[in-house]
Structure 1
Amino acid sequence: MDEIDNKIAKGAAWMVSFKMIDRGLGLVSTVILARLLVPEDFGLVAMAMILIGALQLLMAFSFDVPLIQNRNAGRDQFDTAWTLNVIFASACAAILASVAGLAARFYQEPRLELVIYLLAVGFAVEGFSNIGPVIFRREMQFDREFKFLLGKRMASLLVTIPLAFWWRNYWALVAGQLTGTFVSVALSYYVSDYRPRFSLKAKVELFHSSKWLVMNNILQFLNGRASELLIGRLGGATTLGVYTIASEISTLPTTELVAPINRAAFPGYARVANDLEALRNSFLGVISMIALFALPAGVGIATIADLMVPVVLGWKWVPAIPLIQILAIYGVIQALQSNISYVYLATGRLYYVTAVGAIQFTLLISLLIPGILYKGATGAAWAFLGTVVLITPVIQYLVAKRLQLSSTAFLARLARPLAAVLIMAAVVLAMKHVLHRNDETSSYLVALVLCVAGGALAYSVSLYVLWRWAGSPHSAERVCLGKIETLLQRAGLKVSLT
Structure 2
Amino acid sequence: MVQFERSDENVGGRVLQGAMFLAGARLIVRFISVINLAVLGRLLTETDYGIAALALVPIALLQVFSDVRITSALIALDDIDERHISTAFTIQVLRGIIIAAMLFFAADPIADYFNAPALRDVCRWLSVVLIFDGLKNPAFFLYQRNVDFSKEFWRVTVAQIVAGIFTVSAAFILESYWAIVIGMIASRSVESVLTWWRVPIRPWFSLSEWRIFFSYGSWLTFAGMATQLQESAGSILFGRYLGTDPVGSYTMGKEVSDLALAEITAPLRQTLFPGFGAVKNDRERLIRSVKTAMGTLFGISLPLGVGLALFAPEALMVLVGEKWLDDAYIVQVLAPVGALTMSIAVVDSLAMALQKLRGIFYRAVILAVISWPLIYYAMLEQGLLGGVLAVGVVRLIRVIFNMFFLRGMIGMSILTMLATAFRPAVATSVMAAALFLLPRTYDPATLGSALTLLWTLPYVALGIIIYTIVTSVLWRMAGRPQDGLEANILHYGGGLLQKLRANILLYGGGVLQTVRQKLRRKRQDD
1:85-484 to structure 2, matched below 5 A, reads 85-431=92-438, 433-437=439-443, 439-442=445-448, 444-475=452-483, 476-484=485-493
Q: 1:101 Cα shift?
A: 1.5
Partner of 2:3: none
Q: Is the 8 A contact 1:36 1:165 kept in 2?
A: yes
Partner of 2:510: none
Q: Is the 8 A contact 2:280 2:286 kept in 1?
A: yes
Moved more, 466-475 or 453-462: 466-475
Q: 1:273 Cα shift?
A: 1.9
- Aligned to 2:138, the other structure's residue is in SS state coil
CA distance in 2, matches of 1:114, 1:437: 41
Q: Is 1:52 equivalent to 2:59 in the alignment? A: yes
Provide the TM-score with structure 2 as the length reference. 0.89
Partner of 1:75: 82
CA distance in 1, matches of 2:285, 2:150: 25
1:136-179 per-residue CA deviation (whole Å, 9 max, x = no partner) reads 11011112221122112111111101221122111111111111
Name the % identity. 26
Q: Is the 8 A contact 1:59 1:85 kept in 2?
A: no
Q: Match for 1:280: what amino acid?
A: I
Q: 1:353 Cα shift?
A: 0.7
Q: Match for 1:400: what amino acid?
A: R
Q: 1:484 Cα shift?
A: 4.1
Q: 1:276 Cα shift?
A: 1.9
Q: 1:46 Cα shift?
A: 1.1
CA distance in 2, matches of 1:481, 1:378: 43
Partner of 1:496: none
Q: Is the 8 A contact 2:273 2:353 kept in 1?
A: yes
1:202-248 per-residue CA deviation (whole Å, 9 max, x = no partner) reads 01121111110111110121121121011111122211111001011
- Aligned to 1:395, the other structure's residue is in SS state helix
Q: 1:47 to 1:207 in 2, by over 3 A?
A: same
Q: Is the 8 A contact 1:12 1:265 kept in 2?
A: no
Q: Match for 1:204: what amino acid?
A: R
- Aligned to 1:201, the other structure's residue is in SS state coil
How much is the aligned-residue C-alpha RMSD, in angstroms?
2.0
CA distance in 1, matches of 2:453, 2:71: 44
Q: 1:130 to 1:2 in 2, by over 3 A?
A: closer
Q: 1:25 to 1:464 in 2, by over 3 A?
A: farther
Q: What is the total number of aligned residue pairs between the two structures?
A: 492
Q: Match for 2:38: what amino acid?
A: V
Give ranges in structure 2 of 5+ residues lacking alignment. Answer: 1-7, 503-526
CA distance in 2, matches of 1:319, 1:234: 20
CA distance in 2, matches of 1:259, 1:469: 30
Provide the TM-score with structure 1 as the length reference. 0.94
Q: Is the 8 A contact 2:317 2:444 kept in 1?
A: no
Q: Is the 8 A contact 1:43 1:240 kept in 2?
A: yes
Q: Is 1:65 equivalent to 2:72 in the alignment? A: yes
The structure with more radius of gyration: 2
- Aligned to 1:193, the other structure's residue is in SS state coil
1:51-92 per-residue CA deviation (whole Å, 9 max, x = no partner) reads 111111332111111111113111111111110010011011
Q: Match for 1:403: what amino acid?
A: I
Partner of 1:37: 44
